[in-house]
Amino acid sequence: MQQLNISSNTGLLGLFGYPSRHSLSPVIQNKFLRDNKIDAVYLTFEFPEEELETAFEGAKSLGLLGLNITMPYKEKICSLLDKKDKIAAAAGSVNTIKFNRNEYFTEAAGFNTDIDGITESIKKAGHEIRDKNCLITGAGGAARSAVFAFLKEKAGKIFIYNRTAEKAENLLKVFDQKNSGKIFILYSLDDLKKRYDDLDIICNCTPIGMNLKKMIDKMPLPEDINLYEKIVFETVYNPVETKLVKKARREGAMVVDGLDMLINQAASSFKIWFGVMPETGNLKEVLLKYTI
């Protein structure tokens, strides 16, 4: 990999998350920066929840150009921002921040590129979302983005299955006021199995399957569910072949893996910061070298 040339004029971008050191975002964004000859560097910052506001104000004060936000801070960061674009405000989840500075004030503006990452990944894989019934596992920031993306693309029914029903109910309250009858909570595995035959798209928005000791050998769905002819969309990207993805391929599902979403949302973030949509070309092949 080409060496970075860092000077006192080099700009700084970063990723906030807990955990975040596993992330491939630095590989992507630093490549984009080099390809576009921009004097900046992208790093990860990992800290516990109680330090979020302190870290955010520090980034703002120290002159960072922008931030990406990952779990579990995509919702929590919203209250610290000066403004959000319409999509981020409607989704209630932010994954990209741009710091706009003048001599008097630094404005922190929030955006959500996960939504484009989801829809673009599914469409580029050759699948439609319109009128499709969708299952979303999880109820955090990624799930919020998925609900918004599927509503925006006029999906059919949207089902939410989460380990904690209260979080799923809160997600329903956020979105269902204007979409009455489209969003449903599945409270148990029995509920899920009853609805299963009606599902077209399954979207995992949990960290289950991630390359972490407690996650990597687990599945967000019951092992006995057959994924034949379902569209399985995985947001976990390391490993690329999660337990869910392996099962989906084995059983004849149509798979959209997590690297596709990571690349698409990262490119949209870069455009927000610099006004340029970067070339993604062979980026997926590059990233595969960093995954297990």
Residue 179: pLDDT band (50, 70, 90) is low
Q: How far apart are CA 147 and CA 153, in angstroms?
A: 10
Check residue 198 and report its DSSP letter. G
79-85 average pLDDT score: 97
Query: Do 189 and 232 share a domain, yes or no?
Result: yes
Residue 21 belongs to domain with CATH number: 3.40.50.10860
> Catalytic residue at 289?
no
SS3 254: strand
Query: Do 245 and 183 share a domain, yes or no?
Result: yes
**Number of domains into which the chain is organized:** 2
Query: Do 85 and 121 share a domain, yes or no?
Result: no
Query: Do 51 and 80 share a domain, yes or no?
Result: yes
pLDDT tens per residue across span 233-260: 999 999 999 999 999 999 999 999 999 9
Q: Name residue, tokens 């595969």.
A: 288
Query: Do 103 and 188 share a domain, yes or no?
Result: no
- At 175 the pLDDT is 86
Calculate the average pLDDT of the chain: 94
Query: Do 238 and 125 share a domain, yes or no?
Result: yes
Query: Do 187 and 122 share a domain, yes or no?
Result: yes
Domain housing 141: 115-257
Residue 214: pLDDT band (50, 70, 90) is confident
Query: Do 202 and 124 share a domain, yes or no?
Result: yes
Q: What end-to-end distance do the CA atoms of the chain give, in Å?
A: 19
Annotated catalytic residue, options 31, 60, 74, 98 = 74
- At 180 the pLDDT is 65
Classify residue 282: in a domain, yes or no.
Answer: no
Classify residue 280: in a domain, yes or no.
Answer: no
Query: Do 145 and 29 share a domain, yes or no?
Result: no
Classify residue 78: in a domain, yes or no.
Answer: yes
Query: Do 222 and 238 share a domain, yes or no?
Result: yes
The secondary structure of 51-110, three-state, reads: HHHHHHHHHHHHCCCEEEECCCCCCHHHHHCCEECHHHHHHCCCCEEEEEECCCCEEEEE
